[in-house]
Chains A and B, each alone.
Chain A
Amino acid sequence: MDRTHRVRRRVAATACALALVLPLAACEALTPGSATAVPGPTAVPSSTAVPDGDVTLRLQFADAPLMVDALIAAFEKGHPGIDVEPQYKSFSDYVQNLRLTMTSDTAPDIAQYAVGMTDLAADGHVLDLAPWREAYGWDEAVPPVSLDQLTGGRTSEATGGRALFGVPAGLSMTGIYYNKELARRAGIEAPPKTLAEFEEQLAAAEDAGLTPLGVGALDSGGLHLWAALLNQLMPTDAYWDWVNGKKGATMENPAAIEASELIVEWGRKGYYNESANGTAQVDSTAQFAKGDSVFLINGNWAAGQLATAMGDRVGFFPMPGEKADSPTVASGFSVSYAVSSLSRHPEAAGVFLDFLTSPEAGQIISDNGFLPPNPDAVKKPTGVLADIADGHRRAVADDGITTFPDFAAPAMLDRLRSGVQKLIADRVTPADYLDSLQDEWEDHHGE
């Protein structure tokens, strides 16, 4: 084959490729994404009248399938006209497709609230339920702190009060579990009243030759510990502003430096399980149940497993504050449900959401290991579950349930996870770590 021929052919191929790409670049219609106008926040009507005839609601969710099935069964028994069709997705699948799902024409009527829902609410893809706060009496049935997590930091255009983009079913909260036998061996008599006392107890455990604190930092355990310390040191309002993306909010502040420094210091003192960065939360829980550490940072979702494995030998307390009379502040979130603005039966969805606040639903939620929104309506739990319920009650009374820090931006989870891993291993300064978080925050919230 002669050379000029080959060269000519190559030139032709390049020209073809360019000819294909150039008009694409020039053509507006081929810009990726849909240009549909964003309607802005949309509210439900204040009426709660249930439509006649048979209605089917599609419910898409990612957490606690057993609880959802039980809730639906109980609901349908009381409301024969409304069918709820559950569509379960694995959590990562659900979160990754949430935007696409909720902006598509086939959006489910009801969807579990997750990271990214705030943006969808701002664009009007999920309904503002604020008018039903009064109509259904949700402000009385649900502790305000649980509804505050679901306002997206917005004011409702329909009522002028706080917006509402979801209704909680089960609540969650993080805190510290402790092994009562090991604690006694280290001379620890009772849960600490202050953060300083907790540090003394960690030191006592270390002195007794035990591993003081189990952390599963391979996934989210590290960021739960960081958030728990941050909750005690940073003003709750400032924290909320940051997570909600309020203009001017920043994580580069002295309190956050102090919290991050504690993580580093505890690492230097050898308070964590040696392989914290290589241990997943589930594994750290299993190791704690075997008696590998005196304390464990985790959430109430681990309570069922620990109660079964350890019985009376395990207790729980929320991370203590700086002073004995400091308010109880803990991070947590709820398994909550939002309503799509494309739903043809928002009133029926409202009936279902209202059912979630009922005592009957509360009992189902409690039986499935979550904290019911209204704890007074259910049977008193025992053992470690009672500790958690008690801690939660104190936090709710102090208005001290904050959301998880990764809700600040879609990419925040990765920054937090890898950042806390570096803090634990003493590989980053607290200032640089907070700087990386703030960079991500500004990237998302645009400043």
Chain B
Amino acid sequence: MASRPPVVEGAPRSRERRVRGRSRWRGYVYVLPALAVYLVFAVLPALHTAYLSLFEWDGVTLGDWVGLDNYAEIFQDPILRRSVVNALVLVVFFSFVPIVLGLLSTGLLARHRRPGMGAYRFLFMLPQVVPLVAVGVTWRWLYGDDGVVNQALRAVGLDGAARAWLGDFDAALVAVGLVGTWVLSGLCMMLFLSGVQKVDPSLYEAARIDGAGPVREFTAVTLPHLRGELAVAMTVTTVAALASFDIVYVTTNGGPGEQTTVPGLLVYRLAFSEGKVGLAAALAVVLGCLILAIVYLINRLSRSES
């Protein structure tokens, strides 16, 4: 958004105020092109979605104004509510686990400068480069009846544990979540590793001279320096979980039953296959608000600590 140019503190006199006023307007002129693009392609579509959510509309014929009925339906329909719960479960796998794994590996790698850190970062980044649809299709094979996961289980004698992971009512959501873990762990590791490089090596040295062990070193030196990276990682991964669509669509399409149905999938289905554009828009608005609230919370927490 447009931010105001820095304000000069001091006793304002009328001439100064005029100059200040003029330069302020000039500042707005500079941001105008970006602002216009942002308004046309982000703000207006969002407002339009919110507006559409007040209608019952099939996407073609004249819509009916229904006020907040669509929102009422979201909170009453068990499938829609279920989808929000599923998305929150996915946050554990998309956000919590990758961040813990990222911190762990950073703790292990950060203590000593080793050659080849660039190679590590490249490897961790790889899952980010593969399109999510390809990731989903590949994991569907891995999770299949005769897929690698089951082959591995059978090879170590755990025949009883082998199952069709994506078709199992108890395992499907976890299986989909773990795909997200695989994708996002690398991102978190990479973020933290590059964050750690900013840390002055003498700090580690000082900690070691003071007799800190690896754990103490991590909590006293590494972690405090990663606060900014942590906030970014939490924001990105939480949004990825709540707005997830592609992985679920490709692997399970929301099944079995509604075990892996997520809001993003329902927005797509309601709008494009079921002709309930208003309800889809309402769900999108609720999802958007939920994401904004969580992101606000994360930012608030990370800032108040600093």
Contacts and interface: CB of A to CB of B under 8 A. Distances in A.
Interface of A: 1, 17, 20-21, 24-25, 31-35, 38, 95-96, 99-100, 103, 116, 123, 217-219, 273-279, 283, 287, 410-411, 413-414, 417-419, 421-422, 425, 427-428
A413 B60 CA distance: 21
A21 to B, nearest CB: 6
A277 B273 contact: no
A278 B143 contact: yes
Max chain A Cβ within 10 angstroms of own Cβ: one of B51, B172, B274: B274
A33 B255 contact: no
Contacts of B252: 218, 278
Interface string B157-201: 000000111111100100000000000000000000000000000
A95 B275 CA distance: 11
Interface in B254-295: 254-258, 261, 269, 272-277
A103 B62 CA distance: 12
Interface in B29-60: 47, 50-52, 54-55, 57-60
B14 interface: no
B60 A218 contact: no
18 contacts: A21-B47, A31-B65, A32-B52, A32-B57, A100-B60, A219-B253, A274-B164, A275-B167, A278-B144, A278-B166, A287-B145, A410-B275, A411-B274, A422-B256, A422-B257, A425-B169, A425-B257, A427-B257
B7 interface: yes
B304 interface: no
Given A21-B47, A33-B62, A277-B168, A425 B145 contact: no
Contacts of A17: 47
Interface residues of B, number: 42
A33 B164 contact: no
Nearest to B266: A414
B21 interface: no
B202 interface: no
Among A123, A275, A283, the one with the most B-chain Cβ atoms within 10 Å of its Cβ is A275
Contacts of B76: none
Interface of B: 4, 7, 47, 50-52, 54-55, 57-63, 65, 143-145, 163-169, 172, 252-258, 261, 269, 272-277
A217 B163 CA distance: 15
A414 B269 contact: yes
B275 A278 contact: no
6 A-B pairs with least C-beta separation: A278-B167, A275-B164, A277-B167, A278-B164, A411-B274, A277-B256
Contacts of B54: 25
Contact of A31 (B55, B258, B275): B55
A352 B253 CA distance: 38
Nearest to B145: A275
Given A279-B145, A413-B273, A31 B164 contact: no
A271 to B, nearest CB: 16
A396 B99 CA distance: 61
B47 A20 contact: yes
A421 B255 contact: yes
Contacts of A35: 62
A289 to B, nearest CB: 14
B270 to A, nearest CB: 8
B168 A278 contact: yes
A217 B252 CA distance: 11
Given A20-B47, A35-B62, A96-B273, 17 more contacts: A1-B4, A25-B51, A25-B65, A99-B58, A99-B275, A100-B59, A218-B252, A218-B253, A273-B145, A277-B255, A277-B256, A278-B252, A278-B256, A279-B167, A414-B269, A414-B273, A422-B256
B59 A99 contact: yes
A114 to B, nearest CB: 12
- Chain B CB count within 10 A is highest, among A100, A417, A418, for A418
A274 B256 contact: no
Contacts of B4: 1
Contacts of B275: 99, 116, 410
B273 A411 contact: yes
B63 A32 contact: yes
B179 to A, nearest CB: 14
B294 to A, nearest CB: 21
A31 B273 contact: no
A275 B4 CA distance: 60
A32 B277 contact: yes
A21 B54 CA distance: 12
B255 A96 contact: no
Contacts of A422: 256-257
A218 B255 contact: yes
Nearest to A125: B60
Contacts of A217: 167, 256
Most B Cβ at <10 Å: residue of A20, A421, A428: A421
A95 B273 contact: yes
A33 B258 CA distance: 31
Contacts of A413: 273
Contacts of A21: 47, 50-51
B61 A33 contact: yes
A279 B55 contact: no
B255 A279 contact: no
Nearest to A95: B273
A218 B256 CA distance: 7
Nearest to A38: B61
B37 to A, nearest CB: 18
A279 B168 CA distance: 11
Contact of A103 (B60, B144, B164, B257): B60
